[in-house]
């Protein structure tokens, strides 16, 4: 019996899955204008300027898709002010994503902290807008940003902001298809918890998923309903020119290196098994390495698996993750 790629993906045999991978059905994207509902409103997509329209259609025939970044991904939420516990989404103030590239030579083992104002993430076919709050933070700086704090207000006096709580952690791959209209995808797979949790479901976080990711042009007016009260990022001219006066462009690691970069995530309707060969093999390898690292840490025997592991970051706010407080 010949197993499908999706079946083998679920079975856990990474080597066999990679060896039996076949190219996904090909489909080209139309170049017409399209209105995109963002996490905070709607955005007008310019013809051929933004990433390929739709919900993650298969790559164009013959297109080469390369991994341009890979690493660890963490999801957090912060309860509302003066809420020491969270019983559900009504008690959540905001959510965060932390990306930790594992290529230390390129990224200096730094983390990127992204704010998700909408709180919930985009399930299959959904869209959301995120903001780069910290483009190159150390683990200690991320922990400090997500820790509890107090502040003063004129009307209510001292207020307490509770620490952020971990939802889940896993691995991610940024891949780019340069043929035709350039397109970047962020694909991820959750490692902990091993099975989808109630908290993940409430935040609409798929246990494994893919997003088409785009950066917003800071020189253009934001689409209606998507304005953020933040200073615009200051890109060097070479990076700014890549927008070619369009509102959106395919995200690159360079964009993530600037504070206040706005990133549009469009969740695809295609699973990891529809990825091109290189990013598919990379995410399976990273997932296996992360499982090995966590098992080794549990046995008090550090593993060299994923060398840039965020030691202790998921301990921010306690164990958390699978259930509400």
Q: Where are the extended beta strands (E) located within the chain?
A: 34-38, 41-45, 65-79, 92-101, 111-116, 127-137, 149-153, 157-161, 165-177, 183-192, 208-216, 248-250, 262-267
Whose tokens are 């995109």? That residue is: 36
What pTM did the predictor assign? 0.74
- Contact between 73 and 311 under an 8 Å Cβ cutoff? The reply is no
Model confidence pLDDT, tens digit, residues 234-282: 999 999 999 999 999 999 999 999 999 999 999 988 888 888 899 999 9
Mean pLDDT over each residue of the chain, to the nearest integer: 73
Q: Cβ–Cβ contacts within 10 Å for residue 308, how many?
A: 17
pLDDT of residue 13: 38
What is the tens place of the pLDDT at every residue in 93-142? Answer: 889 999 999 876 444 568 999 999 877 776 666 888 899 999 999 888 99
d(CA 152, CA 145): 18
């Amino acid at each position: 019996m010949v197993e499908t790629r999706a079946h083998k993906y679920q079975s856990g045999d990474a080597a066999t899955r990679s060896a039996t991978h076949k190219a996904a059905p090909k489909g080209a994207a139309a170049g017409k204008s399209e209105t995109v509902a963002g996490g905070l409103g709607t955005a007008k997509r310019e013809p051929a300027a933004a990433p390929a329209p739709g919900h993650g259609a298969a790559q164009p025939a013959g297109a080469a898709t390369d991994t341009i970044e890979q690493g660890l991904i963490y999801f957090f939420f912060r309860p509302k002010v003066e809420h020491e516990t969270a019983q559900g989404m009504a008690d959540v103030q905001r959510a965060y994503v932390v990306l930790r590239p594992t290529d230390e030579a390129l990224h200096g083992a730094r983390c990127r902290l992204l704010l998700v104002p909408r709180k919930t993430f985009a399930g299959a076919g959904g869209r959301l807008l995120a903001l780069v709050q910290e483009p190159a933070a150390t683990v200690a700086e991320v922990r400090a940003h997500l820790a509890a704090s107090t502040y003063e207000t004129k009307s209510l006096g001292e207020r307490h902001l509770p620490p952020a709580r971990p939802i889940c952690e896993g691995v991610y791959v940024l891949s780019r298809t340069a043929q035709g209209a350039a397109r970047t995808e962020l694909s991820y797979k959750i490692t902990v918890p091993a099975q989808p949790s109630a908290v993940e479901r409430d935040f609409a976080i798929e246990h494994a998923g893919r997003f088409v990711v785009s950066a917003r042009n800071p020189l253009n007016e934001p689409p209606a309903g998507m304005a953020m009260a933040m200073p615009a990022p200051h890109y060097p001219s070479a990076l700014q020119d890549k927008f070619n006066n369009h509102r959106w462009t395919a995200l690159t690691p360079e964009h993530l290196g600037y504070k206040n970069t706005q990133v549009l995530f469009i969740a695809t309707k295609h699973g990891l098994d529809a990825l091109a060969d290189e990013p598919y093999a990379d995410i399976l390898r990273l997932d296996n390495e992360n499982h090995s690292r966590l098992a080794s840490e549990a046995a008090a025997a550090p593993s060299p698996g994923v060398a840039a592991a965020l030691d202790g970051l998921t301990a921010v706010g306690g164990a958390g993750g699978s259930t509400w407080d």
